[in-house]
Structure 1
Amino acid sequence: MTLLAQLAEAVATGTIEVVDLTAPLSHETPILRLPEPFDNTVHFELREISRYDERGPAWYWNDIVTGEHVGTHFDAPVHWITGRDGEDVAQVAPQRLIAPAVVLDASDRAATDPDHLLQVEDVREWEAKHGPLPDGGWLLYRTGWDARSGDQAEFLNANETGPHTPGVSAECAKWLAEQTPLRGLGVETVGTDAGAAHGFDPPFPCHSYMLGAGKYGLTQLRNLDRLPTRGAVLIAAPLPIVGGSGSPVRVLALVEREG
């Protein structure tokens, strides 16, 4: 039996579980809100063309209206000024969309501190316990924030001082981008940066350092609690939007289970 046949059989029998890490995409999906004077993306919207009626008696279809960075989405390097000479989303090689993934769980700390920041020493401590970060793979940063994804206000968690969501320190973002073999960073929050990252040096360091290094971001993931600490394979398939800075994405994880 070929390797691909073995894979197909393992998926069919459940020996390999396919875990969907993607948030449902609808008008209710939370989106990032930037303060004035900056412009914002739109909510996802379906615009019906026909539904088994005089507009089209045998078919149902819609136009869709969405931003590139709505819901679970992929950040390409060109999304940020530091990566403006890098890849747009259509230029990302297909083989780079399938890669190993590990999960670093900080949900206990984020539960008591919504501004919790991942530090270099946290990742080094994780490596000492679980082994090195995967070469050409993803670090999935679990904070438990996906539990809030059903409500825009709760998900953004903003007050008069701005949004309060967990993220990564500037030092750690730089280290992940420049000193590790990672391909990208995945998070459960609305963006790869912390809610307070507009005030960091540099502002939005995950975007600045990771995309500037030609690496990628995945946001608004869910079900990370269903993944092993290491051993999953991630499939992240954005739309190949020519010139696009990113795209809504279906993110699937392949997880080997005992028979």
Structure 2
Amino acid sequence: MSTNSTNQLWQLLRDATIVDLSVTTGPDMPCSPPEGQRMNQYLFNTYTDPRGVFLEYVQIHDDHTGTHIDAPSHFTPSLESGLPHATEFGTVTIEQLDLKQLIGPAVVVDVRSLVEAAPKGTHTHLAESPWISREFLEEWEERNGGFQPGEIVLFRADWSDKYYKPLPEGFEYDRSHPAPSAEAIEFLFDRGVRHIGVDGRGIGAMQDDNTPHWAALGRGMYATENLTNLGKLPTRGAVFIFLPHKFKGATGGMGRAIGLIG
């Protein structure tokens, strides 16, 4: 890349509006799941000898806490295992993810209407997760144009915006949010989409967590979960970037998700 091209690229990045799409993690925030093992933070050193005059913490969390991405191996066994749902992507862990698949044009699909139409639950916000169906996406395409190869499809339910709060209120951050059906995921895959994201706890439904994960991760697609602020992005016109930590063998990777609007 020439110096002139580099300067032009930097100018575009410098002038872009940056939208933070990541939730804040911490010992008092919802984990994965909120009723499970909380993230912990321990003081390692506080400006004292003999370690030295610096402040440092040790953090412990599972690899599917906060805003994170699922590697294919999370729900996909290797072919060698002989287990059900095994595919050639079963050995793909976080450090092997294709960086180009982590960056792309964002397409925000508003699914709030599914939340509004769904029956309310007694112990959860909704009685069950509304399915984002293939038919829903086909109708969306008629209004907004077809999905294109390389686009990153983000499903906006405003779930984390409403319910991702410090514990104990954060225990209400449940999994009854909308989830893409296997048919919808296959439809997006056929359109050339290789990365999807949700602003809820995961791409799985409360009543069926497995099938959406098998459909997406088994095809080598990536899934970013626990996003937030998707309402600050246009339907089209932003660039999505998510870079997880590069931890050898991890099935999920926490990181910082951002949207760039020119």
Aligning the two structures, in what range does the TM-score lie when normalised by the shorter sequence?
0.7 to 0.9
1:246 aligned residue (242, 245, 252): 252
Segments ≥4 residues shifted beyond 4 Å: none
CA deviation string 1:39-71 (max 9, x = no partner): x96322221111223454521111111111001
Q: Which residue of 2 aligns with 1:118?
A: 132
The equivalent position to 2:171 in structure 1, one of 147, 153, 161, is: 153
Stretches of structure 1 lacking an aligned partner (at least 5 in a row): 35-39, 157-162, 199-203
Alignment deviations for residues 74-103 of structure 1 (CA, whole Å, 9 cap, x no partner): 101111134553411101122222111100
Letter of the structure 2 residue corresponding to residue 181 of structure 1: G
Structure 1 residues 117 and 6, CA gap change in structure 2 (3 angstroms)? same
2:202 is the counterpart of 1:191: yes
**Percent of aligned positions that are identical:** 27
CA contact (8 A) 1:174 1:205 kept: no
TM normalised by structure 1 equals 0.83
What's the Cα RMSD here? Answer: 2.1
Shift of 1:130: 1.6
Q: Does 1:228 align with 2:234?
A: yes
Distance 2:180 2:90 in 1: 24
Aligned to 1:217: 223
Q: Partners in 2 of 1:125 and 1:180 — Cα distance?
A: 15
Contact 1:31 1:190 survives alignment (8 Å): no
Q: How many equivalent pairs are there? A: 237
Q: What is the distance in 2 between the residues matched to 1:85 and 1:171?
A: 21
CA contact (8 A) 2:147 2:188 kept: no
**Aligned in 2, Cα 1:4/1:253: closer, same or farther, shift over 3 Å?**
farther
Whichever residue aligns with residue 225 of structure 2, its letter is: T
* CA distance, structure 1, for counterparts of residue 90 and residue 33 of structure 2: 26
User: Is the Cα contact below 8 Å between 1:176 and 1:210 reproduced in 2?
Assistant: no
Indicate how the Cα distance of structure 1 residues 144 and 52 shifts in structure 2: closer, same or farther if over 3 A, else same: same
Please give the residue correspondences for 1:1-150 in structure 2 after superposition, counting only pairs within 5 Å: 2-12=4-14, 15-33=15-33, 42-54=37-49, 56-81=51-76, 82=85, 83=87, 85-113=90-118, 114=126, 115-146=129-160, 147-150=162-165
The range that moved more, 91-100 or 212-221, is 91-100
- 8 Å CA contact 1:100, 1:134 repeated in 2: no
| Contact 2:101–2:195 (Cα < 8 Å) also in 1 | no
The 2-side partners of 1:21 and 1:3 are apart by: 28
